[in-house]
Structure 1
């Protein structure tokens, strides 16, 4: 082996390995660390504190200089695409249809604002209402699966026959009644009249004072084994036996909204599972402190029980 051969094949770049997978080469490792720094700062702006746990290696290599990654954007994208780091993000849905995964509620509002602006141009009007029910669920997800606002907007299909999110002109009735759609169109996620009845039956006990205590939900009398349905999209976070409640199911819907379904004879869902509004999650029973088959249904807003009748469609 000649000195000329050794010289011409000396290392002239660094091969980047993320979690033991090669993503390409870079000439200067300082450039890599600068890009990595930018990624971490950008992630903290979107998600708050992020604990990056990826394995990163830079190994000296020789390659043709034109094969090195030249664009910092390409390096940035490849690092993210191969990262196993998890962040807490929000799964956004419209009428139960998945819209995308975003960093937070602020980005959801950005999506709605941009979609609304597109409809303003189409409808030649500023007086528009959101026609969908927008919900979200918090979840831990790999950072590479989180969408940008622009990516989500591109999947909505604003100009299609069946867009995931749509706006329409107000009617006179809308403006007079100041209804829920009006509140939604102003950029908040409606907390009223958006839940489905969890079981078909008769309300046998209302919310409020009862027998010297406060009844924190409503009781819906139904036949033993009748289906219990999720009132709204969400993530099941509890399926267990509790004193008084018997077999109970609890669902987190995001925005501080939770629902409780108690006295089940059978639980058909599992903790950690995502369910859609109207999906069967259990069966009516009389477990726990109960005088007969029924479902005890609670709505909690930021931990405080509220009258479910205010929220049922």
Structure 2
């Protein structure tokens, strides 16, 4: 660069001198500006030098526009681009396209989204407000569709807020994913003490938990069928992030239980009864308002009832006729039902003095007629034995009993329980050995039973 000859300014007018000096200063300034470079860094990481700040600004705008074309929304650069004046560096003088490429490698992008906040906690972020509102509506619709009836109202007791914010693009969820996240929520574990009559099936249904999930939550159980009142089991269930109350009006039919009427019948023995008319439940139509919280019914408010069909009473005739106690009549009822395994008469070279009637151990054995107990205890091959004297020379024997429920001297009525079928004494299996004796001599019971 050629500068003016300052020596030649001697003797010149001051105005001319000042103009020449200004020209020199301008030339020096232009030269300095043309030789200056700018260092570009991202979060302290040096990327290179550029000739001017405009190169950086242009590359930055191109980067933003390229992301906007891909994402279709407002975006924000997550890191700061630092531009500082520097001295000419060896190499690394970047053009616009070279700088753009380095910026794409070094800068992450945040996208403008809408965050869904429930009770002041952020639970999900979606692309825009419309999507956020659709997510909330989809959660409500899920609970509405799960229960039957006419919709009355839907209530959400939680505080909901939608807020615009810039988030990492990976945080933006689809409508379906955000809905499922809110519905599934977090897993909550609590205990349940088993009550009378409860089982795993009823507990799972009552708490709205899938049966297989209840089994998985209780690996300590040896069997799903072995639960006793007082046992403690674990309930693991999803706690939704949004609570939804659904109120529906339903109409359903409910049975009206029939009643049983007892009528006296003098033609029947007092231990007998006969169903004269079978009962039949009635039907009523019930209208009610049901309240569900997160799909589980919590209350029912009756609105009205209408009887569609009246119930039909069950009528039972109960006998009043009785025999005079302690007077043998020779008419006996069967002391127990079952298969006759051995009859009265000769058997295996011996004389069998009674009738063997097979039945399960513990089956009640009843008095064949009214009388007085004259023996109750063990008696050799008879095992546990009860003897009842009916008067008029009649006696009945009840042998091989498992238990005895009467005592000597006790008066018993026809049909009263004397004990239970067993295998005591000489026997090959559970049965009742029944004898009828008249004046001490054994008689064939079949001649007296059922008369």
The alignment's TM-score, normalised by the length of structure 1, stands at 0.41
Between 1 and 2, higher relative CO (CA 8 Å, sep ≥ 6) is seen in 1
Structure 1 or 2, whichever has the larger Rg, is 2
The alignment's TM-score, normalised by the length of structure 2, stands at 0.28
Would you tell me which structure has more strand in proportion to its own residues?
2
